[in-house]
Amino acid sequence: MAMSSAMTDRVTALKEFDDTKTGVKGLVDSGITSIPVIFHHPNISLSIPSTTYLSIPTVDLSLSRPIAVDLIRSACRNWGFFQLINHDIPLSTIENTISAVRSFHELPATIRSQHYRRTPGAGVSYFSNLDLFLSEAASWKDTLKITFGPVPPEVDQIPEVCRSELVAWDEQVKEVAKQVMGMMCEGLGVKPARLEDLTCLEGRGLAGQYYPPCPEPDRTFGSAEHTDAVVLTVLIQDKIGGLQVKSLRDESWIDVKPIPGALVVNVGDFLQIISNDEFKSVQHRVIANSTNEPRVSVAVFFNPGSKEDMNLYGPLYELISNEKPACYRNFNMSELVNIFLAKAVGCKSITEHFKHK
């Protein structure tokens, strides 16, 4: 099929942007006052106002375990998101992690560009828009991605400005995720180690996101609407805000208000599938940063570490019955990864792909 000239122009512009190797931050530093057309989202409708009086649930880990388990279960069913507080990770550790990611993105262009590459599957990479060449429009953010497991990175490949902080964060977040997964299992009524036994703590990808101030925040997103194609995401964010969750009740967008020291936890597609739709992987997005300070968030994505093709995943047998048959077919991890890589981040979630019709 011949490409229209508008499409070739777009591909050329995307390549030119990618070749700068300095991301959106590089554009902002060059002093632009309007955003390039490749970032224009068609039909951008921020028209649905966010409901400021609603917020996603908060789960206080200092409550008794049965109460916390109940809160987590209802949050995972009704929101797919919650903010975890009193989890024992010191506020200073969270702040240091965020600062370390900010420091990387604010390294001189010549230094940070040395890390620029589009191979997010392993090791360390720095890029702007994972789906740059697949999506309809690019978004106003850059990412430092480090794969911590199942294969650990070569530590000296991690940029020195954030090395010790991110290695330490990976350890901390794994501990909390272990606790949370145990409680999720209890909430589902399966044995507490079920997710851990499926190696769900082993596959870990850290995304250090940087959302520079955007001169035309009404034309683009920080991150377009998507669900996370993972088991679980644990995210920390600075005080700027901008993350929004689509309410399952009425499809309105709810702000995830920054709470100092809180961890934002959300259910991914994989967990929705293996929970046989008990838990929900919910659409979320980040609005473009309209403040004059950059926004930083650090997400850790948890996935099964075991990617053997003979390992089939699907709804847990404990959650399948005559009353509630399996909502999804079984699949292996390479199928899942291929689907994920072939689609733009904002497209139909992988749950649709495996759903029994």
Give the interface with Ni ion as residue ranges (CB under 5 A).
Answer: 228
User: Residues 246, 292, 215, 107: is their CA dihedral positive or negative?
Assistant: negative
Residue 147 partner contact from ligand OGA, Ni ion, none using kind-dependent CB cut-offs of 5 to 8 Å:
none
Per-residue mark of binding to ligand OGA, 227-256 (x: CB under 6 A): -x------x-x-----x-------------
Which of 173, 207, 262, 316 binds ligand OGA (CB under 6 A)? It is 207
CA distance 277 to 315: 8
Q: Which residue is nearest to ligand OGA (CB)?
A: 297
> Whole-angstrom Cα distance, residue 240 to residue 295?
6
The residue count for binding ligand OGA (CB under 6 A) is: 11
Tell me how long the chain is. Answer: 357
Q: Are 244 and 285 in contact (CB under 8 A)?
A: yes
Interaction between residue 223 and ligand OGA (CB under 6 A) = yes
Nearer to ligand OGA, 70 or 106 (CB): 106
Binding of ligand OGA at residue 38 (CB under 6 A)? Answer: no
Is 202 or 228 the residue whose CB approaches ligand OGA more closely? Answer: 228
Backbone angles phi, psi at 206, to 5 degrees: -105, 130
DSSP state, 319?
G
Q: How far apart are CB 149 and ligand OGA at their closest, in Å?
A: 18
Q: Check binding of 112 to ligand OGA (CB under 6 A).
A: no
Give the separation between CA 165 and CA 159, rounded to whole angstroms.
11
**Which positions from 8 through 27 interact with ligand OGA, judged by CB under 6 A?**
none
Are the C-beta atoms of residues 181 and 76 closer than 8 Å to each other?
Answer: no
Complete DSSP assignment for 27-95 = HHHTT-SS--GGGPPTT----S---TT----EEETTS-HHHHHHHHHHHHHHTSEEEEES-S--HHHHH
* Residue 102 within binding range of ligand OGA, rule CB under 6 A: no
Taking CB atoms, the residue at the shortest distance from Ni ion is 228
Residues of this chain, 273-312, that bind ligand OGA according to CB under 6 A: 284, 286, 297, 299
Residues that bind ligand OGA (CB under 6 A): 207, 209, 223, 228, 235, 237, 243, 284, 286, 297, 299
